[in-house]
Amino acid sequence: MKKMRVAVTFISGVAIAMGGLLASAPTASAAGCPSYDICFYEHTSYAGAQSNYASGVWIRDLAYTGYNQMPLIKMNDSISSIINNIPNNTTPVWSDRLMNGQLLYVSNGKSYANLGDYGMNDKISSIG
Q: Is position 117 an interface residue for Ca ion (rule: CB under 5 A)?
A: no
Q: How far is the CB of 92 from Ca ion (least distance, A)?
A: 14
Q: How far is the CB of 67 from Ca ion (least distance, A)?
A: 17
Q: Could you say which of 72, 123, 126, 127 contacts Ca ion (CB under 5 A)?
A: 123
- 92-96 long-range contacts (CB < 8 A, ≥24 apart) are 92/127, 92/128, 93/120, 93/124, 93/126, 93/127, 94/124, 94/125, 94/126, 94/127, 95/120, 95/123, 95/124, 95/125, 96/125, 96/126
Q: Is position 85 an interface residue for Ca ion (rule: CB under 5 A)?
A: no
Q: Residues 86-115: x/- map of binding to Ca ion (CB under 5 A)?
A: ---------x--------------------
The contact set with Ca ion (CB under 5 A) reads 77, 95, 123, 125
